[in-house]
Structure 1
């Protein structure tokens, strides 16, 4: 390859390198510019508890009448953006940051969809979440992000059933069930299952909850106007002090419904009845009150008027059926209990004479028969009767006066007899009191005698015990002295015997030692030697045959000649 070709090759390579370098630089500038544009102009932040509603300025045209659009379409997007950092081109999108829906504890969120399929005419509850209308299911406590352009959320109170009550649920949408039957799935009417005490998140547009008292209730009929009015119970309002705000809200709503019913009933009554009913509504009587006493003719043709209180109970398992057939508790009282009480009272009362209602036994018998008949009659309607109490019996004065006079005469006679019996008992009591006093004095004397006798016996026993104790002590001391004497004697004898044995053994030892040395004489010599002063020195000097001289330094002692063996 020539030099020219080499130069051209190098020049081409250099140009390509420049082009690549310029391309990379341009790409980096473009990327940096894009990222800077995104970061500076497209970035936005959704704080906690908020959401972003996005509107696309460009895209496909949505269907006619659409409020919310999907991604790629022009308009307000269905999906909202949650909290956090997001990037959208402000040229293509508008962003509106709005608060998310927060549902507190004890509340529910009722959602009304503005988008979706149209509902049939007259329907408001959406069958699913793809249709317009009110969603059947509610939103519980929490934070929710639904596009406010397409969904409206109404925050309402949850239903709190207090203790002592149950809730009867009525479905407000659907097809009509067979008459007298509970509503099934998809049907409109009273549901079989009741709500026990507790907190429930229900849609008030889909379900209505009526709070019904369970346990003991009362209805009282007393003299007044000829119209029948049932007063509201205080227990609904008085519960506000003891229950929370949700319970109070539920009970107050139920109370308002009952008061509306009462006011509608009052408008149909006379002026006197309206006044009496207004007083009952204002005062909110503690029991159901009926402004009419029970009236019926007696067996002997006289008019008998009496006040009556009936105690009854609705069992939780029967409340739904009772509500389905008769309605709320005041309606049950007015439609079922009152007519039965009046009917049974007239039927049973017409078999008694007027004076039987004044005498205690006849009145008690009538009350017993009335209660049994009411129990039997209302049991078939799932209402338990516990008692029927008769008060304030009134009969015509022309029959009441002679009966009262006869009763007074009988009572006076009984009073006189009782006074005689009382005087007799008083005399007997005085005699018994004197006898008791006499007996008390006798008991006191006997007690003193027993105390003195017991004291003497005690002193004698103490003296005898003391003498026996001293004798026992002397005997113990004598025995102790004898023991000490025996101990000393035994001790002396023991010491003598010990010394004798020791000396005897020493003598035996000396005897054995003498025998060992060859005789007592040698033992004596040994003893003499042992008794010498250790400083004495002995020197033996040989002076010739037949002669032995001993030189004693400190003295001379004759030494006996040894005898031949």
Structure 2
């Protein structure tokens, strides 16, 4: 069975309204917490950016004592005091209750470029008598410097800064250091104190820029470069000569302060402790008195004429320079040079001395010109000799070159002639060999022809002998022997002029009983020429012997 809700309308409505009220309360509480948290976060947050600082001021706490400007630091037994707190907040995010604290955001202190700063504490204990610099718990100037570009967080109610330019020691100068704070010197009667004692230090500084605390030490610049001053302009050097004439010197003294003793010279001859005026003090207190004293003592030993003469004045100048250098060196001053340019004397003695000096100068000039002319003549002779020697050397060199060339040409010509002679001799020998060979060949040919002719004649003589010495019979026999093979064709045609040729051979005269001549035996060819001497192919055979008509006919047959 289904359950039946037996609550009335009022009961059901109350049950639904209770959760709604609690949800609204929760949402309101959360909203309040969020808004309150955001308010507290915004109100309590301190954002300190880069290069910034925050000075805290306590609103509640113990009251400051009379004369106090900065609240003391927090302690466990006392807690915080009202007022400006000694510490500051640097870059970052911090949270402080605005009901108890207040703050002020300012810039940190940054030292300008090219300068230095000195910190001054405005709060603390008073300095004891005789103290110049304060420590961390005292009021006053702090030791040391903050160099250019540095950034420092500070409490503007308790600290301030003094900015100073660096001390520049130029080239050729030295920096004399005077300590204004430090331990007392052991001996108060010395000029220079030991290192670390209050006073002028022995050690000086080289050229450069120095960032110093002017309340802690002072650097005075002493110029150690060379300086020149005139004897007649800056100091009146006048004295009497040995003969009673008034002599006035004019010249220049070149000096400088010794770098090793710059501090001592600065203390002794600078009463105002101003480094720029030390040169004038040196001239007035050291060089001028010594120069006058030396000139008066040494000048009284010479006559007025000697001051006009160059040699005596030069000796006087050398003595003045050596004596003045020795005395000034004891005072820390280096004398580099003393030059006496002129010495004023009365006109009545100056004119004749001047004329004599002019005559001496002219004589010296004439002597120099003479020496110059002699030197030029000697130089001209040397030049001529050198030129002659050079030409002689060139001629000798040319002779040597031509001789060498001629000898080389001669050697070449002899070599070529010898070569041609050798070739000619070789050619002559070859020609002689060829002539001998031709003679031998011609002799052999002649011998062959002669032997062949002799053989032919011998054979012909035998054949003629065989016909009883009748040559005509031999000729007819040879002709008949040649024509015998062709008789049939010839006799077939007995008429005509051709047969008339044989008429002379037809005769009634009986032919003697002839013995046939045997053919000559074959001969061996000549071993030297390879030719049969009786053959018809021997050279010159056709020209030397008549041809045999019977043999020719046999050959044709």
Shared fold per TM-score greater than 0.5:
yes
Structure-to-structure mapping, 1:193-342, within 5 angstroms: 193-214=203-224, 216-224=225-233, 290=234, 292-327=235-270, 328=275, 329-330=278-279, 331-342=281-292
**1:42 shift after superposition:** 0.6
Q: Which of 301, 312, 318 is the aligned partner of 1:368?
A: 318
**1:144 shift after superposition:** 0.5
Distance of 1:378 and 1:406 partners within structure 2: 37
1:44 equivalent in alignment to 2:46: yes
Distance of 1:441 and 1:54 partners within structure 2: 105
| CA deviations over 1:395-445 (Å, ceiling 9, x no partner) | 2223222322333344455556666x46xx7478558747854x4775476
Tell me the secondary structure at the aligned position of residue 129 of structure 1: coil
1:157 equivalent in alignment to 2:165: yes
Structure 1: gaps (5+ residues): 1-23, 225-289, 478-565
Tell me the secondary structure at the aligned position of residue 351 of structure 1: coil
Tell me the secondary structure at the aligned position of residue 450 of structure 1: helix
Distance of 1:192 and 1:443 partners within structure 2: 73
Change (3 A) 1:185 1:80: farther
| CA deviations over 1:144-174 (Å, ceiling 9, x no partner) | 0111111111222222323322111223457
Aligned to 1:118: 126
Distance of 2:421 and 2:155 partners within structure 1: 117
**1:29 shift after superposition:** 9.6
Q: Is the 8 A contact 2:309 2:353 kept in 1?
A: no
Aligned to 2:465: none
Aligned to 2:341: 391
Distance of 2:171 and 2:387 partners within structure 1: 66
Change (3 A) 1:445 1:124: closer
Q: Is the 8 A contact 1:53 1:147 kept in 2?
A: yes
Distance of 2:111 and 2:400 partners within structure 1: 90
Over aligned residue pairs, what C-alpha RMSD do you find? 3.7
Aligned to 1:457: 403
Distance of 1:92 and 1:184 partners within structure 2: 56
TM (normalized to structure 2)?
0.60
| CA deviations over 1:320-374 (Å, ceiling 9, x no partner) | 1111111243222322222222222222222222222222211111111111111
| CA deviations over 1:525-558 (Å, ceiling 9, x no partner) | xxxxxxxxxxxxxxxxxxxxxxxxxxxxxxxxxx
Aligned to 2:178: 170
Structure-to-structure mapping, 1:6-21, within 5 angstroms: none
Structure 2: gaps (5+ residues): 1-25, 75-79, 424-557
Q: Which of 440, 446, 449 is the aligned partner of 2:392?
A: 446
Tell me the secondary structure at the aligned position of residue 90 of structure 1: coil
Distance of 1:139 and 1:341 partners within structure 2: 49
Aligned to 1:107: 115
Q: Which of 387, 390, 402 is the aligned partner of 2:352?
A: 402
| CA deviations over 1:193-238 (Å, ceiling 9, x no partner) | 2222233221123322111122x422312435xxxxxxxxxxxxxx
**1:76 shift after superposition:** 0.9
Distance of 2:360 and 2:375 partners within structure 1: 26
Higher-strand-fraction structure? 1
Change (3 A) 1:164 1:429: closer
Distance of 1:115 and 1:473 partners within structure 2: 127
Change (3 A) 1:462 1:208: same
Distance of 2:41 and 2:419 partners within structure 1: 118
Q: Which of 128, 141, 146 is the aligned partner of 1:139?
A: 146
Distance of 1:395 and 1:127 partners within structure 2: 68
**1:51 shift after superposition:** 0.9
Distance of 1:202 and 1:444 partners within structure 2: 78
| CA deviations over 1:105-126 (Å, ceiling 9, x no partner) | 53211122211112357x7833
**1:52 shift after superposition:** 1.0
Distance of 1:82 and 1:306 partners within structure 2: 74
Distance of 1:415 and 1:166 partners within structure 2: 50
Change (3 A) 1:60 1:414: same
Change (3 A) 1:394 1:440: same
Structure-to-structure mapping, 1:456-475, within 5 angstroms: 456-464=402-410, 466=412
Aligned to 1:60: 62
